[in-house]
A and B are shown apart, each in its own frame.
Chain A
Amino acid sequence: MNGKLKIYCLCFIIIYAVFFAHIVYDEGKLAIAGFEFGYAQSATGNGNVHVCGSYVEPVDGSVTFPSVIVNEKTGEEVHFEMRQILAFLSDFPENIPAYVKIMDGATIILSLIMVALFIYIPFIGYRIVKSVAQNVFYSIKNIRRIRKIALILLMIFLITVFINLSTTISTNAYLQITGYRAYVGTFDYSSLFTGLIMLILSEILRYTANIKEEQDLTV
């Protein structure tokens, strides 16, 4: 295998492993805590709880600092504003619209799909590296694989957008915090940009592969 390719692959594996481990550690804590809590609640018969997680902004606009906390180091009151919340509700309005409940369900399903897609990407990457290691650079299969990764990244972006919108709508339906409102916040555009760049790259590679095929079949 090409030396540079080895280094790039090694970097990719390390970064992806760290990234995935971080996600599993970060989200795993929440998942385990949620499961344990739900299990305990089901034992008491009170399992009707809801957790809202969303970006929030002050009703009067950003940087208006509507909340107050005490700085325990100096004892003075400090004005602040929240950017994100994670709220646990054991009592919530009865008249939650059906579409909000459907969106909540869809969010859970799409989150699981997103995890599956994140696991699937390295497998496609492995197949590309394997074929390149066998000196097959411009194969149609490889181009399709790159295209597939690009489409998966675009799909991940769309899923995150949906989840963001869904959690915002859900939080607004379940919760009203004084001085704040839930809002969509910023999307993570990195997967969108990477997906689009890879899509462009796959088209360039397809063009190159066609030129190479023509060159190979010129006698």
Chain B
Amino acid sequence: MAIIVNLDVMMAKQKVSLNELSQRVDITQANLSILKTGKAKAIRFSTLNALCKELDCQPGDILEFRED
């Protein structure tokens, strides 16, 4: 897909684990893993909002458009 999820990069920058982040943003680990591995088909604004807040970043830091 042309949209790349850079959640793993942001998590590494913030030195936060999947388990810790899932507790902080109140999303199951399974769903966060789907997002992290790029299997997700859509992301809710509320999820994006929570992630940006916890990782202290902009939506553009998590999502990136790359030409196929």
- List residues of chain A with CB under 8 Å of any chain B CB: 213-214, 217-219
Contacts and interface: CB of A to CB of B under 8 A. Distances in A.
Nearest to A214: B41
17 contacts: A213-B41, A214-B41, A214-B42, A217-B34, A217-B39, A217-B40, A217-B41, A217-B42, A218-B40, A218-B41, A218-B44, A219-B27, A219-B34, A219-B35, A219-B42, A219-B43, A219-B44
Given A217-B40, A219-B43, 8 more contacts: A214-B42, A217-B42, A218-B40, A219-B27, A219-B32, A219-B35, A219-B40, A219-B42
B31 interface: yes
Chain B CB within 10 Å — which of A213, A217, A219 has the most?
A219
B58 interface: no
Nearest to B36: A219
Contacts of B49: none
Contacts of B19: none
A209 to B, nearest CB: 13
A96 B30 CA distance: 72
A201 B43 CA distance: 30
Interface in B33-68: 34-35, 39-44, 47
Contacts, number: 23
Interface in B1-50: 27, 31-32, 34-35, 39-44, 47
Nearest to B5: A219
A219 to B, nearest CB: 5
Contacts of B39: 217
A217 B47 CA distance: 13
Contacts of A213: 41
A219 B44 CA distance: 6
Contacts of B35: 219
A218 B46 CA distance: 12
Contacts of A217: 34, 39-42
Contacts of A214: 41-42
Contacts of B42: 214, 217-219
A217 B43 CA distance: 9
B55 to A, nearest CB: 15
A217 B33 CA distance: 11
A31 B35 CA distance: 64
Contacts of A219: 27, 31-32, 34-35, 40, 42-44, 47
B25 to A, nearest CB: 10
Nearest to A218: B42
A206 B22 CA distance: 32
A214 B44 CA distance: 12
